[in-house]
Structure 1
Amino acid sequence: MILSEIDIVDDISKEVFLEKYFKPQKPVLIKEFAKKWEAYDKWNLDYIYEQAGEQIVGLYDNKPADPNKATDEPVTHMKMRDYIHLIKKQPSDLRIFFYIITDKLPGLLQNFSYPDLGFKYFKRIPTLFFGGSEARVLMHYDVDLGDLLHFQFEGRKRVLLFPPEEAAFLYKVPLSVHTVYNVDYEHPDYTQFPALRYAKGYEIFMEHGDALFMPSGYWHFNRYLEAGFSVTLRSFPSSPKRLFNMLNEVFFIRYTDKIMRKLFKQKWVNYKQRKAFERSQKALDKYLKN
């Protein structure tokens, strides 16, 4: 992988953000951006423990999804307080995925304000994500194709970002929003995945209060280095073309994949993995010839 340093700023105006990052769709890391919130001191695991401790939450781990089950089915369930106690006490790969604040912890909405950066937020689904110190999130892009503002809290996290046009070198799985399961982005094997060597992206280390702007369709891999959580604010599709692509992803591609997975199970998974390798090898061959 060819990883560059991302632009890092301590603060940013709406005008600079729109001109330098939003319009050209370029990522940027804004250090301690959450400190602007009046209730910044409530963004910690202890507060979540107190406010939502009795809630039962679905948990995911680092293992590939079972082809005999839905891809979004949790591997287990646990009370929020027990989960937070676990990840604070010991290493764990368990994580919480897409915890919608408006449905499950609406009081938390009083503890932040949407940054005025010039784009329209989709305020129905600000979401939390939690992870233990061994948790990883498979390389993927968000199916709704929104622009994302991603805040990190508590522990440090490593993020890899790749523009949409790098998909051919990332072993993208057909009819999916993720890459093949067995790529180790911490110790990439370029013998097994030769195209990955030429993928151009960014490496970012996030700390408490940092905000990362991820443009629409950007591929991202998250590795929790310490127990922590994050909140993602997303925008509406900013153009008719992006809206059409989002609807196609959500209602056609996603459900076609679910139907095929239900019908053919492991055979379908194996087929998609094989096609991912074939397409990346073809892209690599073309790249090396030029």
Structure 2
Amino acid sequence: MAITIRKLAEMKRDGEKIPMVTAYDYTAARIADAAGIPIILVGDSLGMVVLGYDSTVPVTMDDMVRHGRMVSRGSSEALVVVDLPFMSYQVDAAEALRNAGRLMQEGGAHTVKMEGGVSIAGTVRRMVDAGVPVMGHIGLTPQSVNALGGYRVQGRTKAAARRVLDDALALQEAGAYSVVLECVPAPLAKVITERLTIPTIGIGAGPDCDGQVQVFHDMLGLFPDFVPKHARKYAELGSDMTRAFEWYAEDVRNGAFPSEAESFTMNERLLVELLGEES
């Protein structure tokens, strides 16, 4: 049965933890969907792990629409959430609504995700009133990495913790159906989770959130450049793939690939006739 935002609310109410992973293409979405992952996020993290940028800032609406379309074609059961990229919703609510519409109409998104709290609450309300389900994202907001001075845990001081809590409450009040807490101290994430009636999804926010999200490439060992503290590797596919390519290259060089089993046959009499015609 396809996952809906109502189902997520039921999972929080029943104390059922919510696993969420990122995916950026058709094949990855099929794998996550087959594993029973209820939420697939097409994150703007694709800027780093797929497009090779050093942050999410250069990611465009066209990038998100294209990858959202790939993932939506590969998923049949999961709720597909697509990030609104940097500067696609900050200018004004009307532009945000138009861009969210693109993600849903062209990109196949079921819902969109936006970074920010109190500052974007009015835009979230406008979008929800127009029929666009919104997942919030607070704490460490990667699109604001330049303003934050780097990738740092948010909410460690009393004032900072108050800001994160206020952001969470503002998003809930504005109609967001869920909120991601990124790089927030675990005790603060626990308090927020208890205060909110909507599900919290943690990434580097401890075990007490209603759900967790991990980046596809981090958890499968596909992105060796940097592994965040909050990531856990469940496989080492990067090294496995390197060995597979090395094995393939060796087989090509020594003539072991392709073999007769990987080759196609024909009626050799026809080939003899063809060569005879040429002579």
Q: TM-score range by the shorter chain?
A: under 0.3
Q: TM-score, normalised by structure 1?
A: 0.25
Bigger share in strand: 1
Q: Over alpha carbons, which structure has the higher Rg?
A: 2
